Amino acid sequence: MTLLALTGGVGGAKLALGFAKVLPPEDVVFVVNTGDDFEHLGLHISPDVDTITYTLAEVANPIAGWGRKDETWRFMDALERFGGETWFRLGDADLALHLHRRTLLNAGKSLTAATNEIAGRLGVEHTILPMSDDPVRTRVLTSDGSLAFQHYFVRDRCAPKAVGFEFAGAETASVNPAIPFESVTAIVICPSNPFVSVDPILAVDGMRDALLATGAPIVAVSPIVGGRAIKGPTAKMMRELGVRTTTVAVAEHYAGLVSHFVIDEVDARAEAAVAALGMGTTALQTVMTTLDDRVQLARSVLEFIR
């Protein structure tokens, strides 16, 4: 089997690690959101690519979910003394990754090649593919105007009211040509934020059609459990957009693309409403606290697909 797993930030990376534990590298490819990428301090920061890279390399900060564990912050402290920009925290070891990626990109390598090189050096055997090598930049439309994603997310801590999203460049970006659509037997949309982690992937010109043309089941795992987001601002965004903060509303968001939808056991009563959308559904234990939870959910999702 070739599983294509679409993933964004921290929540998605948890299930991705589960898949990496139960599937050999030739059986799964991770397609990652790059709408969060930005140029900062002369560097190319690719937060979601780095989150999955660090997660699969098992060097991720387990509390924050992003960045590295056992990180030190001398660079940030020194930058602060110069009055530099410190709202986006780059740890010392993380900085080395960004500098190395800058070097690779300056040498003419694609983001895919740079990602592959960096992941390999960190011992990751599974394939991590940015959704596109072309720039796509998420902008959050707020009641105070349009904000670049990291300004909204990190600098302003998601405080402005979100009224919509734009994925600048998506309509002219090409789908990553390394994605093996022809051999895909199943697609999983990991429990990432539908609006700012998954939608940018789906917005890349031709991505939706390419996914549907595989004829493979497309299985989404709900990031909303019991009316709440496990992590991050998904529920807040849904409220601000006037969408119900329910797992059924997430299923409705994916209607027309997704054939199967995994809900959490606590939402088992929603099975009928999801089925009414024409989706196959199952209720699983989707909250991933431990490594065992990630492996177990990956196994259960694979079982559901089979």
By beta-carbon proximity to ligand FO1, the closer residue of 88 and 181 is: 88
In this structure, are residues 41 and 100 in contact, taking their beta carbons and an 8 Å threshold? no
Give the single-character DSSP code of 257.
T
47 vs 130 by CB, closer to ligand FO1 = 47
Contact 32, 8 (CB under 8 A): yes
Quickly count: other Cβ atoms within 10 Å of residue 63's Cβ: 7
Choose, by CB under 6 A, the member of 18, 28, 53, 67 that binds ligand FO1: 67
Q: How far is the CB of 114 from ligand FO1 (least distance, A)?
A: 14
Interface of this chain with ligand FO1, residues 198 to 237, rule: CB under 6 A: none
In whole angstroms, the minimum distance from the beta carbon of 33 to ligand FO1 comes to 7
Nearer to ligand FO1, 89 or 102 (CB): 89
Rg (the chain; Cα; Å):
18
The nearer residue to ligand FO1, 67 or 191, going by C-beta atoms, is: 67
For position 50 contacting ligand FO1 by CB under 6 A, the verdict is yes
The site map against ligand FO1 for 15-44 (x = CB under 6 A) is ---------------------x--------
Contact between 88 and ligand FO1 by CB under 6 A: the answer reads yes
Closest distance to ligand FO1 from the beta carbon of 26 (Å): 27
Q: Which of 237, 230, 226, 142 is nearest to 192 (CA)?
A: 230
**H helices within the chain, ranges in order?**
10-22, 47-56, 74-81, 92-106, 111-121, 149-150, 199-203, 207-213, 234-240, 247-253, 271-275, 291-305
Does 11 help bind ligand FO1 (rule: CB under 6 A)? no
**Binding ligand FO1 by CB under 6 A: which of 5, 6, 31, 66?**
66
Contacts of 141 (CB under 8 A, 6+ apart): 162, 163, 164, 165, 166
3-state DSSP assignment of residue 294: helix
Q: Find the binder of ligand FO1 among 21, 69, 89, 231 (CB under 6 A).
A: 89
DSSP one-letter code for 306: -
Instruction: Please give the Cα distance from 52 to 13 (Å, whole number).
Output: 5
Task: Name residues contacting ligand FO1, limited to 132-171 (CB under 6 A).
Answer: 150, 153-154
Contacting ligand FO1 within 249-278 (CB under 6 A): none
Residues found near ligand FO1 in the complex (CB under 6 A): 8-9, 36, 45, 47-48, 50, 66-67, 88-90, 94, 150, 153-154
